[in-house]
Structure formats: C-alpha cells, structure tokens
Amino acid sequence: IKKIGVFTSGGDSPGMNAAIRSVVRACVYHKIECVGIYRGYQGMIEGDFKPMDARSVNNIINKGGTILKSARCLEFKTAEGRKQAYDNLRKEGIDAFVVIGGDGSFTGAHIFAQEFNFPVMGIPGTIDNDIYGTTFTLGYDTALNTVVEVIDKIRDTASSHNRLFFIEVMGRDVGHIALNVGVGAGAEEILIPEEDLGLDRLLDSLKRSKASGKSSSIVVVAEGDTTGENVFELKKYVEKHLPIYDVRVSVLGHMQRGGAPSCYDRVLASRMGVSAVEALLKGESDKMVGVQDNKMIFTPISKAIKGHTVIDTELIRVSDILTI
C-alpha cells in the first residue's frame, strides 16, 4: 500500500477531526501518502480529493465537526456509483481507504471491498454508540457530556417553576445516550426503545415522584422511543391524565453533535487512526477498529453492521434505585 484515502461519512461526530489527523500523521510516519476525500462517498464519486501532509491537520484535534465535510450518499448504493468511485480512486493512485462513520457508511465500505477486492478499514464515528465491536464510538463521550450539561441547566429552570420536562435526546434506534445522561443528570424517568416502560407505569412513576415530595421532574426520552409516539404527545398525555404537572418539552437536536471533543474522544480517535493505518499496512481489510477492555480490537465490518449493541440493564436498575 502506497497511498491511503481518508474520509468522513454519514452523521458527523466530535472526534472525527482528531481521527483524520491521526490517520494522516500515521501515514506520514510510515512513509506512505495520504489523500483526504471530501464529503464522503459523494466526493469519491466526484473525484473531490486533496493530498494531506502532517501540517494540513494542524490544530484540528480540538475541533468539532469534520474538516473533510460529510454526506449521506445515495449514488454509492448503485453499482454505477461505486464503479465511478473505484475508477477515481485508481486514477488518483489510492490503493486503500479509511472510512470514519457509522452503520450506513460501513455497509458501503463492505460492499466496495468485496466488489473490487479493495482494502478498507473502518473507524466507528457516531454519537449514538450503536455499533457492534467497540465499547465506545467516537463522539459518544463528548455527546454525553454536552447533554448532561444542558440537562443540568434545564433542571435549574424546571426546579424554579416546579415543572416537569420531557427532554428528547438523540439516538436513532438506541437508548445509550438517554440512559447514561439520564443517570448522570439524575433524571426521574428514562424512556428508551430497548425497554418498554409503558404510559401507565410512567404515570404511576410521576405520581409517586410528586407524592414523595419532589416538586420538579426530568424525563429523558430517546428519540427512538415509542412510549408516547413523541415528546409532544407525551406532554399532552400527562397534561390530560395528571394535571398536577406543569409540563414543558425540550428537543435538544443537533447541538448534541457539535462542540470540541472530550479528552476521551481525542485519545480514542488518536488510537483508532493509528491502528487503522497499521492494520491496512499489515494486509488487513474489511474490518473495523474498536476498543474493548481498553485494547484495540478488529471486527469484520460484516459483523459490525449486523450485530446489535446491548443496553446496560444494570444501569436501568441503578437509575430505578436512585430516583426513589
């Protein structure tokens, strides 16, 4: 391998820049060339490439977002789109790539690797922490800290006005963010898709909470949870069945994906970037680098995209005990 392409794809996450920096510098260290591919697979299809050297990634380890931009690309799902991308990579002399992204990005990389026998390596970058084969994805830790800080602020105003807040947090299909920030911010209830609390139990819990002397309450809701369809429906339901509460809703949205990466995410990104490049140089391909028990491990991408992450049920129990 002489020239590695690197790109970010799908939803961005804090730490992606630190991972780009790590890939670029690991290439320089091992005396091979590195090319940045803009806007993920879209840029690959359009030939939007830029050679990177050690200095082109100065001062980005601390920056949120991604300097290479990101996109969700439908064209790469077609054989023609992938062939165009392959031709562009060959023309540029790129003979392997590192993709930093989530599930959808890895599916594309896996198909591409099989189709063209092209060496690829994945770095899991998503705030959702929904990728099998790693305890933590890049950006998850930062998102947890961002969200906890915001919930603390909402609690201030909730408490001043004796209000109940439904706070919707990200996590397309999983409740990792909701469960962890719920415990970290001391939420009274946490609604996640992995556990169906049900509307009746939610009402019981809120009643108990009020009866125990609490004047305000925070309920953290994962965006993928279906207990009450969405947070606005939950608000209506509680207002109707439990008028003792003055209810407000807060949907945190994309602010959860921004901001400077935490130290943990910077270190994780640095380790993953070096591991990904070195694995390619050792002849590995079609794998994702992950961290487990504080060790770097590799999982076939086909397994990473099919596997499911498991919610920490012990944490649910801890939350139930502590919100008494």
> Is 128 annotated in the active site?
yes
Beta carbon nearer to ligand F6P, 5 or 224: 224
Handedness of CA 214, 183, 310, 302 (dihedral sign): positive
Q: CB of residue 174 vs ligand F6P: minimum separation in angstroms?
A: 9
Which stretch in 1-9, 20-28, 37-45, 124-132 sits in contact with ligand F6P by CB under 6 A? 124-132
260 φ, ψ to 5°? -65, 135
β-strand partners of 191: 221
Alpha carbon distances (Å) from 71 to 27, 38, 45, 101, 102: 24, 9, 12, 10, 12
130 annotated ligand binder: no
103 annotated ligand binder: yes
Tell me, by CB under 6 A, how many residues bind ligand F6P: 10
285 annotated ligand binder: no
Is the backbone of residue 171 left (phi > 0), alpha (psi -120 to 50) or beta? left
The interface mask with ligand F6P, positions 206-245, x = CB under 6 A, is -----------------x----------------------
Q: CB of residue 77 vs ligand F6P: minimum separation in angstroms?
A: 16
* List of residues 6+ apart from 117 with CB closer than 8 A: none
> Kind and range of the H or E element at 221?
strand 217-222
DSSP alpha helices (H): ranges in 54-198?
79-92, 103-116, 140-160, 176-184
Residues 139-178 contacting ligand F6P, CB under 6 A: 170-172
* List of residues 6+ apart from 242 with CB closer than 8 A: 203, 206, 207
Cα angle value 71/137/292 (rounded, 5°): 150
Considering 128, 141, 225, 265, which one is annotated as catalytic? 128
Figure out which of the listed residues 15, 102, 119, 261 binds ligand F6P, where binding follows CB under 6 A. Answer: 102
Cα angle value 196/197/198 (rounded, 5°): 95
Beta carbon nearer to ligand F6P, 81 or 102: 102
The interface mask with ligand F6P, positions 10-49, x = CB under 6 A, is -x--------------------------------------
Beta carbon nearer to ligand F6P, 71 or 296: 71
Figure out which of the listed residues 127, 144, 279, 288 binds ligand F6P, where binding follows CB under 6 A. Answer: 127
β-strand partners of 169: 222
Which stretch in 33-41, 116-124, 125-133, 209-217 sits in contact with ligand F6P by CB under 6 A? 125-133
Beta carbon nearer to ligand F6P, 172 or 248: 172
Q: Are 17 and 66 a contacting pair, CB within 8 Å?
A: yes
Beta carbon nearer to ligand F6P, 90 or 306: 306
| C-alpha span between 225 and 197 (Å, rounded) | 10
Q: Which residues are annotated as a binding site for substrate?
A: 126-128, 163, 170-172, 223, 248, 254-257
- Interface residues with ligand F6P (CB under 6 A) are 11, 102, 126-128, 170-172, 223, 257
Catalytic amino acids? 128
Q: Which residues are annotated as a binding site for ATP?
A: 11, 72-73, 102-105
